[in-house]
């Protein structure tokens, strides 16, 4: 079973591909389509609350024919956040859960869960704490609520879950860890909450396969023109699985996006 997960930073930018960055995003999307993953999870769709436009729907259908497509768009603010899942296998059920998160996080389109015969596949777009850490406290409440939600799934069936989790867990997971200690995504609180998630019975698949390999990143800041060239990145996108199926993982990785900055897709191959 092959899965891919990607923070696309706007479905519309990819479909329109009118700028150089849009062209690069479209190229990555077509590359993913050519790989024909069994499940493709997308974060930060930035779609309107009403979902995809006709043009967007047609473009996705052309790239991913015969896929079942599920959307969770933000109703708190249109064109913000949002997730999507595409699957070749029809799920038994689809859930857009509310996890009793603070603020408007529960209506920002952040989680989709698909149920299959013997497992769940879920995706998440974790709230960012903000440049001034204005949302750090709420983010902590989110982390606790999300962990509890994933544990309820895990109590029924093993879980495979992915997404932009907006945290670099350890120093090895970002280039400039010394200067970013109090930055959003690398605060003690966020890192401790991620540790708590792992301790609740889940495995970071990429780090399991590459325990001491440095400079594996999934995000490079757009604000810096040289972040990708110099590989000054962060690993904040993850595939996690229930501990009891971790041995079934055969391969994990980060897809090459060339000079495109921001997020790169991540992949997982697992025997299920």
* DSSP string for 124-158: EEPPP--TT-TTHHHHHHHHHHHHHHHHHHHTTS-
Q: Is the pLDDT of residue 270 over 90?
A: yes
How confident is the prediction for the chain on average, in pLDDT? 97
pLDDT given for residue 131 in this prediction: 85
Could you name the CATH architecture of 2-270? 4-Layer Sandwich (3.60)
- Please indicate if the annotation marks 12 as binding a ligand: no
Half-sphere exposure of 260 (CA within 13 A, CB side): 24
- Please indicate if the annotation marks 128 as binding a ligand: no
| Among the listed residues 179, 174, 186, the one whose alpha carbon sits nearest the alpha carbon of residue 139 | 186
pLDDT given for residue 87 in this prediction: 98
> Which distant-in-sequence residues (6+ apart) come within 8 Å of 233 by Cβ?
174, 175, 215, 217, 218, 219, 220, 227
Q: Is the pLDDT of residue 143 over 90?
A: yes
Mean pLDDT of 160-169: 98
> CA 235, 220, 14 angle in degrees (round to 5)?
105
146 is catalytic: no
Neighbours of 265 (CB within 10 A): 25
Residue 266: pLDDT band (50, 70, 90) is very high
- Exactly one of 106, 143, 164, 204 is catalytic; which is it? 164
- Please indicate if the annotation marks 166 as binding a ligand: yes
Residue 261: pLDDT band (50, 70, 90) is very high
Q: Is the pLDDT of residue 74 over 90?
A: yes
Mean pLDDT of 151-178: 97
Higher local confidence (pLDDT), 21 or 37: 37
Domain layout of the chain by residue ranges: 2-270
Query: From the CA atom positions of the chain, what is the Rg in Å?
Result: 17
Structure tokens at 155: 């109590």
DSSP of the chain: -EEEEEE-S-HHHHHH--SHHHHHHHHHHHHHHHH--SEEEEE----BTTB--HHHHHHHHHHSTT-EEEEE--SSSTTSS-EEEEESSPPSEEE------STTGGGS--EEEEE-SS-EEEEEEPPP--TT-TTHHHHHHHHHHHHHHHHHHHTTS-EEEEEE-----SGGGBTTTTTTTTSTTSSHHHHHHHHHHHHTTEEEHHHHHSTT-----SEE-TTSTTTTTTT--B--EEEEEEGGGGGGEEEEEE---TT--EE--EEEEE--
Whether 19 contacts 10, CB under 8 Å: no
Dmax (CA) for the chain in angstroms is 47
- Exactly one of 70, 119, 125, 217 is catalytic; which is it? 125
263 is catalytic: yes
Residue 172: pLDDT band (50, 70, 90) is very high
pLDDT above 70: percentage of residues in the chain: 100
Cα-based torsion angle of the residue sequence 132, 137, 11, 83 in order, rounded to the nearest 10 degrees: 170
Residue 240: pLDDT band (50, 70, 90) is very high
Residue 98: pLDDT band (50, 70, 90) is very high
Which tens digit of pLDDT belongs to each residue from 198-217? 999 999 999 999 999 999 99
256 is catalytic: no
Across 29-33, 128-132, 216-220, 251-255, least confident range: 128-132
Q: Is the pLDDT of residue 231 over 90?
A: yes
Whether 201 contacts 157, CB under 8 Å: no
pLDDT given for residue 150 in this prediction: 98
């Amino acid at each position: 079973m092959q899965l891919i997960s990607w923070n696309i930073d706007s479905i519309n930018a990819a479909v329109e591909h009118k700028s150089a960055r849009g062209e690069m995003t479209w190229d990555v999307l077509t590359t993913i389509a050519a790989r024909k993953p069994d499940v493709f999870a997308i974060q930060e769709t930035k779609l309107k609350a009403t979902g995809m436009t006709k043009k967007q729907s047609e473009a996705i259908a052309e790239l991913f024919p015969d896929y079942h497509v599920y959307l969770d768009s933000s109703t708190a603010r249109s064109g913000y956040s949002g997730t999507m899942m595409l699957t070749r296998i029809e799920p038994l059920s689809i859930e857009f859960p509310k996890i009793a998160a603070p603020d408007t996080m529960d209506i920002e389109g952040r989680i989709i869960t698909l149920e299959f015969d013997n497992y769940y596949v879920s995706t998440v777009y974790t709230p960012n704490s903000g440049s001034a850490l204005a949302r750090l406290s709420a983010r902590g409440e989110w982390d606790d609520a999300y962990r509890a939600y994933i544990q309820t799934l895990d109590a029924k069936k093993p879980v495979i879950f992915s997404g932009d989790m907006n945290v670099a867990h350890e120093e090895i997971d970002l280039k400039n860890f010394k200067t970013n200690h109090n930055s959003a995504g690398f605060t003690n609180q966020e890192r401790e909450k991620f540790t708590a998630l792992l301790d609740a019975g889940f495995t970071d698949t990429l780090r399991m396969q590459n325990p001491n390999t440095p400079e594996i990143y999934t995000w490079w800041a757009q604000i810096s023109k040289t972040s990708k060239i110099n590989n000054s990145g962060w690993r904040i996108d993850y595939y996690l699985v229930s501990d009891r199926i971790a041995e079934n993982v055969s391969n994990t990785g980060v897809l090459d996006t060339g000079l495109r900055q921001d997020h790169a897709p991540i992949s997982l191959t697992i025997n299920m």
